[in-house]
Structure 1
Amino acid sequence: MTARTISAPEEGELLLETHFCAADLARVRIQVDLHTSRTTPLSEPRRAQFVLAVHEVMCNAVRHGGGGGTVRLFRSADSLCCRVDDKGPGFDENVIPRALPPVDAPGGHGLWLVRELADRMDIARCAVGASITFAMCFDAA
């Protein structure tokens, strides 16, 4: 993961805010893809990586975060940000493996992948649940 300074998501334009549960994952993934293709200068490969990362964080919220949550997409001057809030028990960043987990490992692949794809990833414990925010910088011109 490349260390870069990226604007906080609250400093940008809100592109999408929606609640989700397991039954909504495909719908929200399509919405994220549409919003990012219409409103951001991410290249096709970076956009696909962003959509995959959003999907992985949402799946984590469904499995471990109380069955769903809220996803918000923000666009700042230099990046596209996603924040997913859930109502689960919360967790610490140290549960995400530093190296790719073995294929037969029971978990850890999704958030590991998000951390690898994103330019920044932050995890915060909230009073109830967790908040995962990640961002991808727009491609250099």
Structure 2
Amino acid sequence: MRTLTGGLLSLEFDRSTVTRVRHLVTVSAHEAGLDGMALEDFVLAVHEAVTNAVRYGTPPRDITLYREKSSLVCEVSDSGPGIPPEALDKDAATTRFDFGGRGLWLMNRLADLSVRTGPRGTVIRLCVLLV
């Protein structure tokens, strides 16, 4: 794992480091200026992206946390097969899956979400304003 200046992160992760990544995101986002419910919501959204990358993606899996103007941005990427088109409706809580399937919906409620996905992998970008 490696960290960048200013308390921001750039690291590769796997199943064994998910808890450590959540801790590092919490500390880094707090140092960047998030606190209270905004911090909790952002960390939950990032954790959802990280666990989805572990569950559905393939290595390498990376997370990068950085400031962009007055925002805090987190990008989670993997080299998996991409997200199926039917799962990309981030505006509707999905009920078509027996288990799961609500991650994008949740991330979209907790942060500004954008998704780039295809047969060579996925990048989830989560962004929140720093006030």
Q: Please report the TM-score for the alignment, with normalisation by the length of structure 1.
A: 0.77
Task: For 2:29 and 2:40, locate their aligned partners in 1 and report how far apart those are by CA, in whole Å.
Answer: 9
Deviations 1:62-115 (A, max 9, x none): 11111661000011221111001101001256513432234x732212221001
Match of 1:128 among 99, 120, 124: 120
Q: 1:113 aligns with which of 106, 116, 119?
A: 106
* In 2, Cα distance between equivalents of 1:61 and 1:83: 11
State the alpha-carbon separation in 1 of the partners of residues 101 and 19 from structure 2.
21
**Counterpart for residue 99 of structure 1:** 92
Residues 22, 68 of structure 1: 8 Å contact kept:
no
How far apart are the structure 2 equivalents of 1:92 and 1:116?
20
1:31 maps onto 2:24 in alignment: yes
1:24 and 1:74 mapped to 2: Cα distance? 20
Q: 1:54 aligns with which of 46, 60, 74?
A: 46
Stretches of structure 2 lacking an aligned partner (at least 5 in a row): 1-5
Amino acid at match of 2:17: D
Number of residues of Structure 1 aligned to a counterpart in Structure 2:
125
CA-atom RMSD, angstroms?
2.4
Pair 1:14–1:27, CA change in 2 (3 A): closer
Give the unaligned 5+ runs of structure 1.
1-12
Out of 70, 81, 106, which is 2:73 matched to?
Answer: 81
Separation in 2 of the partners of 1:123 and 1:106? 21
Contact 1:90 1:126 in 2 (8 A): yes
Partner SS for 1:101? coil
Identity of aligned residues (%): 33
Q: Distance in 2 between matches of 1:114 and 1:67?
A: 22
